[in-house]
Amino acid sequence: MHVLEKLMPLPPQIPQLVTLGEAANRLAVSKRHLQRLVARGELPTVRVGECVRISTAVLVAFIASKTRIG
């Protein structure tokens, strides 16, 4: 076992992260529109160094919250 794992155990499942461009494609919107959603706080992001990523679980939750029935 690695020393860091003893200090900070890894979560059971690490979420899949995608780029803003990939997230925009999955939502069928422009990258600019996705950036606006992020800026308004509607889509939380994860920073990995200088890179900005979005969890696929966040995308699923976002779609579910915007889905209307009827």
Inside any domain, residue 37: yes
Looking at the structure of the chain, the number of domains it has is 1
Inside any domain, residue 7: no
Inside any domain, residue 4: no
Inside any domain, residue 5: no
List C-alpha distances in Å: 67 to 14, 27, 53, 57, 62. Answer: 26, 12, 23, 15, 9
Inside any domain, residue 21: yes
pLDDT attached to residue 61:
95
Inside any domain, residue 23: yes
Instruction: Supply 3's token pair.
Output: 């020393």
| 39: containing domain | 13-66
Inside any domain, residue 59: yes
Inside any domain, residue 42: yes
- Give dist(CA 10, CA 40) in Å, integer: 30
pTM value? 0.76
Residue listed under structure tokens 């076992």? 1
Each residue's pLDDT tens digit, 2-44? 555 566 666 667 789 999 999 999 999 999 999 999 999 999 9
How many CB atoms within 10 Å of residue 2?
7
pLDDT attached to residue 23:
97
pLDDT attached to residue 13:
78
Write the single-letter amino acid at 38: V
